Structure 1
Amino acid sequence: MDHNGGLLSSFNFAHMELEYYACCLSPVCYKNTAHLDLDLCSYRNFCMTHSFAVVVICDTLQMEAVKPSAVTPSKSKWIRSLSKVLHLHTATAGIVPDDGVQKVKSKDTEEWNDSKTAKRLSKKFDSLHDEELERKVALEALIAKIFATVSAIKAGYAQLQHAQSPYDAEGIQAADQLIVTDLKKLSELKQCFLKKQYDPSPEHTMILADIQEQKSLSKTFEIMGKKLESQLKLKESEIIFLREKLDESNKHNRLLEKTLNQSGQLFVLDKLQLSSLTPSNFSTVLGQTVKSIRSFVRLMLDEMKSADWDINAATSSIEQGVVYWKADDKCFTFESFICREMFKAFHHPYFSLYGNSVSEGKRRPQVFFDRFMEMKSVKVREYLAVKPKSTFAKFCRTKYLQVVHPRMESSFFGNLSNRDMVNSYQFPDTMFFSLFTEMAKRVWLLHCLAFAFEPEASIFQISKGCRFSEVYMESVAEEAFLSSESEPRVAFTVVPGFRIHKTVIQAQVYLSQLKTRLENHVCMYVRYSLGCHSIDSCFHIMLVLCY
């Protein structure tokens, strides 16, 4: 009785408290008990404090086999509900009633739960990673298709350009259709990107896109190659056209040169009077004479090369001990030789063709001036054909035999027929002899003009080894002044100089570092009169004096 009474007392006490808390925590009654300072935390504390007693009470009541009449139906129902709630709470808190002792879950169970959770999370993360990777691969496949489409558009545009020149209507239409189709594909790819409609097999798509891109690039390069080939053909046709124009220009230039050699710039002297004769007029004729000499030298060098002459040996035989700045400068040596031969006896009236038997009447300046005005406009070939025994014809014969050596003529033409004809006052109709007679005409005119001055002009050349002087000399090689090793000296005179009254027309010289240099010498310039009789003194007017 006491035992049951104690249990009932405990039960009643627990019942009262539980009923109070249940009433307070009930969703229905919670609003009506808002004045009470109770919450779930109070309920949780209560359960933790009285759970053991309530469980014991419930178990005891079950063991006692209490009669249904002993407990009212409502209380019995409430006790069962409360028992379920308490069992649920204790299971959630990890506490189970076992002989009145609370037990905690074992570490093995916790580790097992942690491992299981980790595996579950790992699987979840792997699944998310796979999804992200698939999305990236699909996006790369879409980008590859975009690049392939852009390459196709580029190829179509190149095809369109190629079809425009030369104009190809069908090619333009086909290229335009390809460009429109590829632009539509590009628009479709944009919509796929916005709607995230990616390709289900991205690897296969990427390979196909790469193949398409390479095909488009190959097509572009092929079109560019065709375009370059057409441009090359166009350039080749332009080259052929320009070559034809060049040939025509060269022919025209040769014709003009021939005409110039025949008349030159002497037409400006048509109204020249003896009283108005100036050194400038003489300088003009001298310039034309030098041009004619150089034309003949070029022809002679071409003939020498065609005949396999040793140019170096020929140069050394004319001027020895000369160091040339350039290989092409050796032409000045031949020019010097021609000038030396053509201007020999220049200071004698009529080049001393008549010796000293020239009358005073023929030595007058007016006579030489009239000969100059007569000869300057005539054609040499016609003049020689009409007057083969004239003074000028004799001059041409004499100078040809002096300038053109028999061995030279034989090597050039294989025989001496030209020489034999000239020697008998029969003048051959060849290019070589025509240029020679044009050169001879210029020298003859210069000679006549020199004797037309009063007093007559003087001629001079520069001795080998002299220092350069700008007053009397003009260098034909500008490279001589670029050398800083030592002061260059005169190697030889190319074109002689002239002096008319107080005017000096400079001699053209070649400056070089001589192999055997004349040291401690100074050149003295001496005026030389055309009336001298010695040809050697004419060409050696430079006296070399020691200090």
Structure 2
Amino acid sequence: MESVKPSAVTPSKSKLARTFAKVLHVRAVTGIAKVDGLKNVKLDANLNVEGNMDKSTINKEDEELQKRVVIEALLAKVFASISTVKASYAQLQYAQSPYDPDGIQAADKFIVSELKTLSELKQCYFKEQFDPSPDRAILEAEAKELESVIKTYGIMGKKLESQARLRESEIMYLREKLEEANKQNKSIEKKLNQSGSLSVLDNLHVSGVSPSHFVTLLRHAVRSIRSFVKLLVNEMRSAGWDIDAAVNAIEKNVVYWEEDHKCFAVESFVCREMFDSFNSPNFSLPNESLPDGSKRQLFFGRFSELKSVKAKEFLAMQPRSTFAKFCRIKYLRLVHPKMEASFFGNLSQRNLVNAGEFPDTSFFTSFAEMAKRVWLLHCLAFSFEPQACVFQVGKGCRFSDVYMESVNDEMPVESEPHVAFTVVPGFRIGKTFLQCQVYLSQQHQEKVKKFTSAKQR
């Protein structure tokens, strides 16, 4: 029995359960479908709103970009017009010198036209009337601006070429003036070096010799020395000499205020050689004996014999004279064989001098004229009673404007200048002193101070 009951009840229960389950499933499915449908509708509505907002934002950005492009196109036109005005103004300036009326008129038209264009662009900006094709307008404006810039540079190039031609013509004119000035200077220098320049000493007698005559002759001698020094330095430069080394060999450890002052060292060397033994009656002629009689009359006679004759002519007429011997000795001492070989490539002039002859060259002629002036100065010095004598000061001496004259004025006023070397010696005629010419150096002054302070310690 117990086994039968369950089998009879089970089928009906299971059928009822399946039916109830189907009903519940249908309702449940139907209810879920309605909820999902509402959710889907709401989502679609949100998507539509967000889509509309994105489209409006994009449209605004496009409008701003478009407005920016047309503004850039307008600015490009403005800058192109300004460049055109600049180029036209440059053309206007160029046409004024030399005067070109057609060029001035054309440039004026361009300027007026571009100013009108700028005015129209201003009105377009205020009225917001922009170019419908801004990209093309920008390219055209850039091309116009580039063309104007090229035109401006072209005009500037022409102007610079014109200025260069003007400078070249000025240089040519100045060169011609310089050549004329050099010719005049050479002519004046030649006249001064001629014996005729000593005409102030004509009709001079031994009893009337005065220090003023000696000063006049000394000035001519110094001028002749400097003319020879100039020639000597030019020959050194042409031969490729190291001027600094040569100058330092003459005067060591001297600081020159200017580069041109180095010629004073060469002048010092020439004066040192030419005035060596000046205080001796024989004047570098040790084997020359003086005749008996008044030495004063003898030397004044030598002075009168030579003063009115050119040195070259006198040497040709009297190659065995005392003055000729003096020239030979001084030339061989002053012009070293290596110097002459570097200047002229040989020793022909030196060989002629050694053989008792005199070369017919401008170099030796300049030397002979200088030697003549120094010789005349020596003869006039021994025409005084007592005789005039030469003196010079040593390195490191304190400068004294009583006995010295500076050839350079660069020393500070508050400093205590010292002598670096003597350029031209001084002379004493009785109680009268003619100042020697010296070169002052700052470095030498500092060395003297250091040496003095160290010695005191």
TM-score, normalised to structure 2, is: 0.68
Question: How many Å apart are 1:313 and its aligned residue?
Answer: 6.6
Report if aligned partners of 1:274, 1:452 keep a CA contact under 8 Å in 2: yes
Counterpart selection for 1:459 from 353, 369, 390: 390
Cα pair distance change 1:127/1:258, threshold 3 Å: same
How far, CA to CA, are the matches of 1:160 and 1:309 in structure 2? 55
Label 1:190 to 1:389 Cα distance change in 2 as closer, same or farther (>3 A). same
- Cα distance in 2 for residues equivalent to 1:202 and 1:290: 85
1:351-398 Cα deviation digits (max 9, x unpaired): 37574533334523xx65565466444322223223333443333233
Say yes or no: does 1:508 pair with 2:437: yes
TM-score (ref. length: structure 1)? 0.59
Unaligned segments of structure 1, at least 5 residues: 1-119, 522-547
In 2 relative to 1, CA 212–277 (structure 1 residues): closer, same or farther, beyond 3 Å? Answer: same
Corresponding position: 1:497 with 2:426: yes
Contact 1:285 1:442 in 2 (8 A): yes
Distance in 1 of aligned mates of 2:321 and 2:330: 14
Shift of residue 249, structure 1, vs aligned partner = 3.1
Say which of 160, 178, 186 aligns to 1:254. Answer: 186
Contact kept? 1:266, 1:376, Cα under 8 Å: yes
CA contact (8 A) 1:325 1:479 kept: no
Task: Provide closer, same or farther for how the CA distance between residues 254 and 224 of structure 1 changes in structure 2, counting only shifts above 3 A.
Answer: same
Distance in 2, matches of 1:128 and 1:465, equals 93
Residue 91 of structure 2 is aligned to residue 162 of structure 1: no
Maintained 8 Å contact 2:124/2:130: yes
* Cα distance per residue 1:317-363 (max 9 Å; x no partner): 656xx311137666444433322322233234463757453333452
| CA separation of 1:216 and 1:358: change in aligned 2, threshold 3 A | same
Q: Report 1:326-337 matches (<5 A).
A: 326=256, 331-337=263-269
How far residue 498 of structure 1 moved from its aligned partner, in angstroms, is 0.7
- The letter of the residue matching 1:428 is P
Aligned residues: 399
* Deviation larger for 512-521 or 196-205: 512-521
* Alpha-carbon contact 1:159-1:175 (below 8 Å) kept: yes
Matched, 1:428 2:352: no
Whole-Å Cα distance in 2 between the matches of residues 134 and 245 of structure 1? 70
Question: Cα gap change, 1:340/1:131 in structure 2, threshold over 3 Å: closer, same or farther?
Answer: closer
Q: 1:287 aligns with which of 196, 219, 227?
A: 219
CA separation of 1:148/1:268 partners in 2, compared to 1, >3 Å: closer, same or farther?
A: farther
Question: What SS is found at the alignment partner of 1:351?
Answer: coil
Name the one with the larger helix percent: 2
In the aligned structure 2, how far is the partner of 1:406 from the partner of 1:299?
17
Q: Following the alignment from structure 2 to structure 1, what is the Cα–Cα distance between the partners of residues 242 and 139?
A: 72
Q: Does 1:439 align with 2:375?
A: no
Corresponding position of 1:42: none
What one-letter code is carried by the residue in structure 1 that aligns with 2:159?
K
* Structure 2 counterpart of 1:323: 253
Question: Offset at 1:152?
Answer: 1.6
Structure 1 contact 324–330 (Cα < 8 Å) conserved: no
2:276 to 338, 344, 358: 344
- Aligned mate of 1:227, from 136, 145, 159: 159
Give 1:294 shift.
2.8
Distance 1:312 1:129 in 2: 79
Are 2:326 and 1:400 aligned? no
Aligned residues with identical type, % of pairs:
59
In 2, Cα distance between the equivalents of 1:497 and 1:435? Answer: 23
Residues 518-529 of structure 1 aligned to structure 2 (within 5 Å):
none
Q: What is aligned with 1:205?
A: 137
Is 2:80 the counterpart of 1:151?
A: no
Deviation at 1:439, TM superposition (A): 0.7
Report the counterpart of residue 358 of structure 1 in structure 2: 291
Name the amino acid aligned to 1:461.
Q
Mapped to 2, the partners of 1:517 and 1:258 lie a distance apart of 43
Would the alpha carbon gap of residues 437 and 130 (structure 1) be closer, same or farther in structure 2, given more than 3 Å must change? same
Query: In 2 relative to 1, CA 150–516 (structure 1 residues): closer, same or farther, beyond 3 Å?
Result: closer
- Match for 2:230 among 295, 298, 309? 298
Task: Give yes or no for the alignment of 1:384 onto 2:324.
Answer: no
Higher mean displacement: 303-312 or 331-340: 303-312
Partner of 1:64: none
Cα distance between partner residues in 2 of 1:515 and 1:190: 75
1-side partners of 2:124 and 2:446: how far apart?
Answer: 89
Say if 1:383 and 1:183 are closer, same or farther in 2 by CA, change over 3 A. same
How far has the Cα of 1:505 moved from its partner? Answer: 1.4
Matched residue SS, 2:283: helix
Question: Whose relative contact order is higher, 1 or 2, with alpha carbons under 8 Å and at least 6 apart?
Answer: 2
Tell me by how many angstroms 1:517 deviates.
7.9
Q: How far apart, in 1, do the equivalents of 2:284 and 2:106 lie? A: 89
What does residue 215 of structure 1 align with?
Answer: 147
- The residue type paired with residue 499 of structure 1 is R
**Structure 2 vs 1, CA of residues 137 and 238 (structure 1 numbering), >3 Å: closer, same or farther?**
same
Larger Rg: 1
| Unaligned residue ranges in structure 2 (runs of 5+) | 1-51, 453-457
